[in-house]
Amino acid sequence: MDSSLTIVTIVYIIMLVIPGVFFKRIYFQGPFTRQFQSGLFADRLITSLFWGILVQIVTFYIFINTFNVQYESIFELLTETHSKLTNNEVPDFNESGLTNILLYLLGSVIIALFLGFFAFHFVRIFQLDQRFAVLRFANKWHYYFSGEILNSREFKQKSFKRGKVATTLIDVLVKYGEDDNRLFSGSLVQYSITSEGNLNTIYLTGTRRYKNSKGDAISPKEIPGDCFVIPYQNVLDMNVQYILKKSEKGKTRIKIKTWAVTGINFILFILLPSFFIYPWFSDTSILSKVLSILSLLISWVFLAVLIAQLTQPQKNSKNGNGLDKKDLVYVILVFLLFGTIGLSFLNVIDPIGYIFK
């Protein structure tokens, strides 16, 4: 194989793989972190290439609208660079070209991190992984231990009690010897899994041990200590029980309010990435775009605080658990102020000209 073609292939793969790796690194987080390193190398490479291509498409459109670069000039640069590399020649890059390349590479990594963060929280907040198996993470134990598996299609067809899980109780039958088995029961506080996604260790609190006494009666015995560790390799059987929070009155009203709050949070969640993307398509300077993003982001934060205060149950502000009317007015004023500043930087509105017109 020609060495020049090998170099070109490596460069193209790196340009696509690295953003995809950063996307997956931030996407698989929390209890699903180990999935980043699991699976066959070929599968991980293909998925990294797929996400890398999507990241490069987004980066490309943002880059050409930010620096006013024409499509033709980019294709000419790529063609010329490819031609020289295949002829074992070093491409000619001036200072401006190298700066743009470095900015592009840095931008692709930042966009990959942002898209991975956005995709993870979008899937988790709207429970898409619980409802659709194709979006479900490989850590199946999280769904069983947290009770999220009850929201899946398979379990929704069964007659289970619905509600938010407060505590997960685990009954574990552990093998002690050849003919000696012990039953332990306690509240699950943590667990660990192997790199293959198998359960490794269970951590219980408030643990009780059951042993046979006279006849068939079983008497529990409290185990002193704060955390009881059980290696899964010694587990014979395990039973999972969910303790649900007490339901409140007015289920219909609560359900409507929940859907309303979910819709508002969805709008807020959609607005956030638009504040980072929309300014780059405006015909303003880079400094104005950056200042606009910062102003709109501050405005978004105060809007989120305002909506959170209006949608949550009323609390006693004297105890520091909420905002009084005076504080809410300040929040509204700051939201409007920074929102106006952000839009004025993009020439969307002209507040001064409107006032003195």
Tell me, which fold does domain 140-244 have in CATH?
SH3 type barrels. (2.30.30)
Q: Is 219 helix (H, G, I), strand (E, B) or coil?
A: strand
pLDDT band at 318 (very low <50, low <70, confident <90, very high): very low
What's this model's pTM, rounded to 2 decimal places?
0.64
Q: What is the pLDDT of residue 248?
A: 54
Q: What is the pLDDT of residue 186?
A: 93
Structural tokens at position 10:
């490596």
Ramachandran region, residue 250 (left: φ > 0; alpha: ψ -120 to 50; beta: rest): left
Q: What is the pLDDT of residue 171?
A: 93
Question: Which residues is 126 bridged to in the sheet?
Answer: none
pLDDT band at 354 (very low <50, low <70, confident <90, very high): very low
DSSP code per residue over 312-338: SPP--GGGTSS--HHHHHHHHHHHHHH
**Domain residue extents for the chain:** 3-126, 140-244, 251-355
Neighbours of 209 (CB within 10 A): 16
Residue 350 pLDDT more than 90? no
Q: What is the mean pLDDT of residues 315-344?
A: 70
Structural tokens at position 25:
């690194």
Q: What is the pLDDT of residue 65?
A: 72
pLDDT band at 317 (very low <50, low <70, confident <90, very high): very low
User: What percent of the chain clears pLDDT 90, i.e. is strictly above it?
Assistant: 17
Q: Rounded mean pLDDT of the chain?
A: 78
Residue 190 dihedral angles phi and psi, to the nearest 5°: -165, 165
Residue 101 dihedral angles phi and psi, to the nearest 5°: -65, -45
pLDDT band at 20 (very low <50, low <70, confident <90, very high): very high
User: What percent of the chain clears pLDDT 70, i.e. is strictly above it?
Assistant: 73
Q: What is the pLDDT of residue 2?
A: 53
pLDDT band at 25 (very low <50, low <70, confident <90, very high): very high
